[in-house]
Every structure is written in structure tokens, then in C-alpha cells.
A and B are shown apart, each in its own frame.
Chain A
């Protein structure tokens, strides 16, 4: 197989453009991975990669993946927030690849949040 070239992006961009006219811009689910030095040291990038791998496996397209700065809860990193449609955002703590898989299957794909991995409501520090 020959390596991808940057020009190969042309076809993908065309494809996205064609679909953009049908679907309403953004995605149904938004995933935000928290960064910051603590987050990165604790595995934030592994969490991001795990989400990207799941997105690949399930070949879903109506999802946005983004990052945010330090959440100020260093001991609970790595953390990510999942927003499904109009539902309230859910912050997940102390993530790893196994937890990401479960969150993906239940929350991202089906809209059912995974309570056992979520930050207890009220224990969130105000920035």
C-alpha cells in the first residue's frame, strides 16, 4: 500500500461537503477531553486516542471531539465531558481505555450516561 499523501484529503473533503448539505453542520454528540499538565501526564491523550479509535471502529460521523484546558481537578484526571444532544453534559473522571469503550457504547452511541464513571454532581469545583 502506498502512503497517504496530503492530496488524498481532496476526496474526503469533497465527501464531507456533499454530506454537509444534508446534515445540519455539527454533530449530535460532543466529546471534550481535558488537557493541562496533570491531565496530559495522567493519560488525557490516551483517552483522546481511545475515543478516536472507537469513532473509527463504529464509523460514526456526527460527533465532535475537542479539548479544553485544565479542569482544576488534577487528582481526577484524565477527564472528559460528553454532551449528547440536548441532554446535560456529563463529566467523566479517572478514565482509561476500558472506561472509554463503555462510555462510547452506552453514552455516545445510545445516549445513556454511565453513572459509575461520572463525577458526582456537586463535587465539581467552580473554575
Chain B
């Protein structure tokens, strides 16, 4: 994966495959600790202890279409290569939280990339999902919540082309370019 926003898209797809109705994505940049934290939390079906123990093993997947499951292994590698780490907290029927920590200034830390397009892509295929995106750094905070969108769009689907176009432009203008 070229950048962290693509990892986020991939991890959020796990949440969708796990039947999540609510997904929360957070990117916290803390320059005083030289730390970049990405969290993806869902209320999907969760994992049992055996799955959690194996979840970052690239040869582990519960999918039947392919023999390898690479998504979390890729993200762990991206975090580890900066001296950071990946944590997966999950409980059956409750949901899952994936936390990836990166050394912010590390030369191997991938850029955050295009968050707007990642969110638009999640919503295009999953209009019924409630998605919250939160971003924080020392200078600013930003929250995007599809519930705020749905209060305005009501019966119009969030993945109608005009609505998606608005969300894309809105996020492009409002999401901070975190340290690239």
C-alpha cells in the first residue's frame, strides 16, 4: 500500500465484511510525542481468541476466496518499520478496534494520503453505514459524521452521485493535510 489512507480503506473493509453498522476512524498526530496513531473501531461481529492470535499472520484468513489474509499483516509491517506497533482488540459480538502507532517523523512512515477519497469509497459501496472520521493534531481538530449528513439528506441515499460529490469536495477542503 502506498499510503496510510489506503491501509485505512482496507481495514475499514474488514469492518464492513464483519457486518459493522458503525465505524469510527481516528487519526491523531502528536508531535510532542512524535507519534501518529490511527484507530479503526467497529461494531461488527468481532473475533474469537484464536482469530485474534493469528490475525496478523499473512497466511491466516477466514475468507474462502483466497488462502492468504494480508490486510492486517501489511498494516503491522508499516507500523513496525517506523518503530511503532499494531494492536488488535476484539470481542465476539461486540466489535473490533485496530490501533496502529507510527513514529511521526520516521523516514519510513508512509504519508497519510487522500482521506477524502478513502471515505468516499467506503460510503459509495456502503451507504447504510454510520461513519465517523476524527482528526486531531496540535493545531486543529476535525470531525466528520455521516449522521450530520443524513440529517440533511434524509431519504436521499448518501451514495447518490451529487451527495458523494459534495462529501468529496467538503472533505478535500476540510481535512488537514496532516504532516503529509
Contacts and interface: CB of A to CB of B under 8 A. Distances in A.
A4 B167 CA distance: 10
A45 B117 contact: yes
Query: Secondary structure at chain A's binding surface: helix, strand, loop or mixed?
Result: helix
Interface of A: 3-10, 12-13, 15-17, 20, 27, 33, 35-37, 40-41, 44-45, 48-49, 52, 55-56, 60-61, 63-70, 72, 74, 127
A52 B156 contact: no
B166 A12 contact: yes
Given A6-B149, A40-B6, A74-B66, A16 B163 contact: yes
Interface in B54-73: 63, 65-66, 69-71
B121 interface: yes
A45 B6 CA distance: 8
Nearest to B159: A66
Nearest to B72: A37
B161 A4 contact: no
Contacts of A37: 10, 13, 69-71, 74
Contacts of A127: 65
A72 B173 contact: no
B153 interface: yes
B152 A10 contact: yes
B165 A52 contact: yes
Contacts of A8: 166, 170
Contact of B66 (A10, A17, A44, A72): A72
B173 A45 contact: no
Interface residues of B, number: 40
Given A6-B149, A35-B9, A40-B6, A70 B166 contact: no
A37 B77 CA distance: 15
B105 interface: no
B143 to A, nearest CB: 10
Contacts of B9: 35, 40, 45
B1 interface: yes
B117 A13 contact: no
Contacts of A10: 152
Contact of B168 (A33, A52, A72): A52
25 contacts: A4-B166, A4-B173, A6-B148, A9-B170, A10-B152, A13-B154, A13-B163, A16-B156, A17-B156, A35-B9, A36-B13, A37-B70, A37-B71, A40-B9, A41-B1, A44-B121, A45-B9, A48-B121, A56-B165, A64-B159, A64-B161, A66-B125, A67-B125, A70-B66, A72-B66
B26 to A, nearest CB: 19
